Amino acid sequence: DAGMKATAKIAVFDTTLRDGEQAAGTRLGSRDKIRLARQLARLKVDIIEAGFPASSPDDFDAVRKIAQEIKGPTICALSRAVAADIESCGKALAKAARPRIHTGIGVSDIHIMGKFRDERYGKTLEGKKAKLVALAVDAVKRARNCVGDVQFYAEDAGRAAPLYLFEMLEAVIDAGATVVNIPDTTGYTVPEQYGELIRGIRDNVPNIARATISVHCHDDLGLAVANSLAGIRNGARQVEGTINGIGERAGNAALEEIVMGIRTRADYYGLSTGVEPREFFRTSRMVADMLGMPVPANKAVVGLNAFAHSSGIHVDGFLKDRQTYEIMRPADVGFTGSRVVLTARTGRAGLRSRLEKLGYELSKQELDTMYQRFLAVADKKQEVLDEDLVALVHDELPPVEQNLKLEYLHSYSGTTAIPTATVRLLVNGKTKEGASIGDGPVDAVYKAIAKLTATHAKLLRYDIRAVTEGTEAMGEVTVHLEIGNRRVMGRGASTDIIEASAKAYVDGLNRLV
């Protein structure tokens, strides 16, 4: 392709905190968001989409803090093509060194007729289409009054009539859009077609050279990464996605797969990114831990088995020459192979430096709390691994104030016993105690806690996993609770799984308050 330089760079746009979090069934607190944004900066993504400030005061606050604290990447905020949304983005991004506003509007007939049904948008489809171009142009101009960098999304571009899409893009680029995002919002397209759409934009939008084309794909048909790469192959120079591919429904395109695709097949694409791939493993685990969405073992690039060779023939070939069956090295994406082990002899400074390497920067007081807990665990299980530390941080430093606290727990079960639990809770400073029987020890504990707190929360999901290998491993429990339309995740960790279960439930109830 004569139009493209062999060394062209693809800008990597991470939307884990916006499109990803939106769908996770749980909201992250602003502290977790900043922690993740800091890790994304270490990963050296080019743009972090930090949130949708007009959607809630919490989201506004998180975007504002990220804009203030995270240096390096461009910080982007989402808005609809609505004046109030754009003002809100402008305010949230005021302290960012490199702010970007991402505004846009629906462009497919289905979206136009569905979301702009009201007659004030026009009586016919053609009337509405003209009105939407005017609204989009207004929005982009308004955003350009706040910041110099404005990205426009043409929602549901994957199902739009191409000629209308071209017309819309030309208008918004004239209005000052610096990036045009072509989302396959519903995950409907297939690679050849999506690639042609991007090529069509390059060939038919007269002022396209003044803007960067961005691809944003969803995985409803399992094609998000393939579609993204097809878009890049056809001239897109920015790619959007999330870590671990989390996101609405089947998810967004997984950034680690796209970046490693471009890198591993540089011979084919002749492109590069500025991402530091050795941070992928750590980022992946941080996202999984924060959202309680574990990474499947067979997940490309970051799954635990992604680099495991088990068939006899493969192992034999592999031992003779790694390249026979390995296209990427585990170390390239941050699998370290050897694991760092801390013990009861590890000092406070050693613990702090390990936590910082894992992406957790704690205050002095938090470090004191963590150190005491670390010593208690090191005492019980001798060796403390990174995974243990992460579980302990979540358990010991919850993101919300703990109005409920588990003080005491005794449970009783066995092959012939009726499972029984006695629980003592501190409820807003007052001690409450009660007992219950249940189907099993966890059920008995949960019934006792529910009785003491008179909660109506519905338990949607209960998951338990061993943090590391072996029977002495810590157990980490994750619960999803719901009251009305509010959903939260609670988590707890302990070498005693009944205690971990109780803590997770109590943590969830604290987050519902």
Q: Of 18-26, 133-141, 394-402, 488-496, which part binds Mn ion (CB under 5 A)?
A: 18-26
**The one segment of 16-24, 70-78, 324-332, 425-433 that binds Mn ion by CB under 5 A:** 16-24
CB of 162 to Mn ion, least distance (A): 20
Task: Give the end-to-end CA distance of the chain in Å, rounded to a whole number.
Answer: 58
> If binding means CB under 5 A, how many residues of this protein chain bind Mn ion?
1
In whole angstroms, give the CA distance from residue 498 to residue 444.
10
Burial of 394 (C-beta count, 10 Å sphere; 0-12/13-18/19+):
buried
Q: Which is nearer to Mn ion, 111 or 491 (CB)?
A: 111
Question: Nearer Cβ to Mn ion, position 165 or 473?
Answer: 165
Least distance CB 21 / Mn ion (angstroms): 12
- Span from 15-23, 47-55, 131-139, 504-512 in contact with Mn ion (CB under 5 A): 15-23
Binding mask 436-455 for Mn ion (x = CB under 5 A): --------------------
Query: Measuring CA to CA, which residue among 480, 477, 424, 482 is closest to residue 453?
Result: 424
Minimum CB distance to Mn ion smaller for 217 or for 425: 217
Structure tokens at 87: 């003002």
Please report, for residues 44, 159, 208, 417, 497, the alpha-carbon distance to residue 279 in angstroms, rounded to integers and kept in the order given: 9, 35, 34, 49, 31
- We find the least distance from the C-beta atom of residue 197 to Mn ion, in angstroms, to be 16
The answer to whether residue 19 forms part of the interface with Mn ion (CB under 5 A) is yes
Instruction: Return the SS3 of 356.
Output: helix
The interface region with Mn ion, picked from 11-19, 64-72, 133-141, 324-332 by CB under 5 A, is 11-19
Which of 94, 90, 91 has its CA nearest to residue 103? 90
Provide the minimum distance between the beta carbon of 339 and Mn ion in the complex, in angstroms, as a whole number: 36
> Whole-number minimum distance, CB 139 to Mn ion, in Å?
18
In the complex, the smallest distance separating the C-beta of residue 249 from Mn ion, rounded to whole angstroms, is: 10
Write out the DSSP string of 13-32: EE-IIIIIHHTSSSPPPHHH
d(CA 188, CA 158): 7
Q: Which is closer to Mn ion, CB of 19 or CB of 149?
A: 19
CA distance 417 to 72: 59
By the rule CB under 5 A, 59 interacts with Mn ion: no
CA neighbor of 491 nearest in space, from 26, 59, 61? 26
Cβ-based nearer residue to Mn ion, 19 or 59: 19
In single-letter form, the type of residue at position 302 comes to V
Give the shortest CB-56-to-Mn ion separation in angstroms. Answer: 18
Q: Which is nearer to Mn ion, 19 or 387 (CB)?
A: 19
**Shortest distance in whole angstroms from residue 10 CB to Mn ion:** 18
Nearer to Mn ion among residue 23 and residue 460 (C-beta): 23
Q: Using CB under 5 A, which of the segments 19-27, 350-358, 361-369, 414-422 binds Mn ion?
A: 19-27
Whats the size of the chain, residue-wise? 513
Report if residue 49 touches Mn ion, rule: CB under 5 A.
no
> What is the dihedral sign for C-alpha 283, 289, 290, 292?
positive
Owner of token pair 């290998």? 469
Residue with tokens 């192979």: 337
Q: Footprint of Mn ion on this chain (CB under 5 A)? A: 19
